[in-house]
A and B are shown apart, each in its own frame.
Chain A
Amino acid sequence: MSLNILNVFLADDDEDDRWLFEQALSQLKIKTSLALFKNGKEIMDYLKQVEHIPHIIFLDLNMPIKNGMECLLELRKDPNLKKIPVAIYSTSSSEEDIENTFINGANIYINKPNSFAALKEVVDKVLQLNWQYHTSNLSRDNYLFRI
């Protein structure tokens, strides 16, 4: 296998959810390196001074200090960060929330699964998709999936 490592960032205020995500990621075939953040402010502060931007960012919607939607809007306004694929990772399944995240520039909307097996499957699917977008000639403007 000659595949590169995917650089993944996750911001989620729930410690258990962060841990589960890390476990799920470590069990996948796709090779990743993961950075975890406790809220939107932490991840945005880090992104503003980081040298290598990640291949994908997972954002929880409901977080203290700075929520996922605020991060998304900031990312899309920043010339250096606007192209990073963003997956919104949330328990909300309100159609309005989902539509708004897409309009504001999210690429993927994930309903947080309620079992570990389902979580693994979902994360795997997202990373595979992201890999294709990263390595193939697919349209970034239309990079839109609900999983």
Chain B
Amino acid sequence: MKIYVSFDFNITRNVILKEQLDKLGVSFVINNAKEITINDTLTPEQELKLKTSLQKYGVTIIDNQTTEIVQRIKDTINEMLEDEDAKLIKVSSYLADKLNYSYAYLSNLFSENTYTSIENFVILKKVDYAKELIANTDLTLTEISYKLNYSSVAHLSAQFKKTTGLTPSGFQKIIKKRKTFNANN
């Protein structure tokens, strides 16, 4: 016979975390999907125990809080670029609002840990998104510039050229030829 299952991942996650944290006998609050506040300091032994016990559920404790925040900044930038309602909001306000830290703090932390600035990362990410749309969809440059919130096709093309060294049409031509080349080899 077969049985069919369905999960409520929120419940699954909370039960796993609660069981394992209860074992340590510490008091805690699960803040959200990615953050738990523990009301004591864990001893290195407790920390190791928690790490090991969570590992078998595929849960990783991220050691470095900085790395985690950098990752959340990147994730939030991705969300923002895909969020139609965020078009008129500045990146700085969006990040500060979503992550609940001042933009100055986020901006410094990002620059110190990624070799680039949030502003440059946003441009790189937007251009990467534009590349994706040029390579894999039939959208026109006008539609892409609207989607990515550029004021005009000229603005998109200029930023694309400045960032990649290629024009959007030059890029498209190369990708097409590369696909043909790969298909024949």
Which residues of chain A have a CB within 8 Å of any CB of chain B? Answer: 1-3, 29-30, 77, 99, 102-105, 109, 127-129, 131-132, 135-139, 141-142, 144-147
Contacts and interface: CB of A to CB of B under 8 A. Distances in A.
Interface centre among A29, A104, A142 (most CB of B within 10 A): A142
23 contacts: A2-B64, A2-B66, A2-B67, A3-B115, A77-B185, A99-B173, A103-B174, A103-B181, A128-B115, A131-B114, A131-B116, A132-B116, A136-B74, A138-B125, A138-B128, A139-B131, A139-B132, A141-B135, A142-B128, A142-B135, A144-B166, A145-B166, A146-B166
Contacts, number: 66
A25 B173 CA distance: 33
A127 B115 CA distance: 9
A29 B111 CA distance: 12
Contacts of A128: 115-116
A99 B170 CA distance: 9
Contacts of B78: 137
A74 to B, nearest CB: 12
Nearest to A127: B115
Main secondary structure, interface of B, reads helix
A127 B116 CA distance: 11
Interface residues of B, number: 29
B94 interface: no
Contacts of A129: 124
Contacts of B178: 102-103, 105
Given A29-B115, A103-B181, A132-B124, A144 B174 contact: yes
Contacts of B164: 144-146
B171 interface: yes
Contacts of B114: 131-132, 135
Given A144-B164, A146-B164, A2 B113 contact: yes
A137 B163 CA distance: 17
